[in-house]
Amino acid sequence: MSESIPTDDQSIPFDSREYASRYTIELIESARQEICFCGPELDSVLFNNQIVVDKLIAFINQSQRCGIRFLVHSTQQTTAQRHLLIPLAQRLSSKIQIHIADKQDQKSRYMYLLIDNKAFLYCPNSARYEGIVDFDAVRQVSNRKKDFEDMWSRSQFDVNTRRLQL
């Protein structure tokens, strides 16, 4: 079962991988303090390309306070696929954290990206790139961020993406 898409006058609907990818890049470029992602996996369409990795590196280098958190159900598939985010997160482990959601939080199929306390991208079904993006949605981001923080507090650090120190 998927959630309905919450829309308002400021929301921009999208219905393709290309738009989801483009809006993700625009959102990352607008970030100033924090990027949070929640979904079943480290989404390959949104995050597994060099342009996004470069944008994330630029974001991280803006300030000591910048941080990125990924909350996913599993990283086994993305680890096997040599996802570009994995080595970046291993190299910048103090800035980029990947956690595995608690079992009770793994029933959802949606994915969302929160940027600071202001903007978001949301897909009710992570297998389909249909959803909305909103670049000025303080109230919606605040509500999603509370849910994200609750799930984060129950999550565990992902051992599959931990860098082995030899």
Ranges of each domain in the chain: 12-160
| Structure confidence by residue, pLDDT tens digits, 29-73 | 999 999 999 999 999 999 999 999 999 999 999 999 999 999 999
How many whole angstroms separate alpha carbon 102 and alpha carbon 71?
Answer: 10
Nearest by Cα to 118 from 34, 22, 15, 20: 34
Task: For residue 129, count CB atoms less than 10 angstroms from its CB and return exposed for 0-12, middle for 13-18, buried for 19 or more.
Answer: buried
Fold classified for 12-160: Endonuclease; Chain A (3.30.870)
| Structure confidence by residue, pLDDT tens digits, 67-119 | 999 999 988 776 656 789 988 998 998 999 999 999 999 998 999 999 999 99
* pTM for this prediction: 0.90
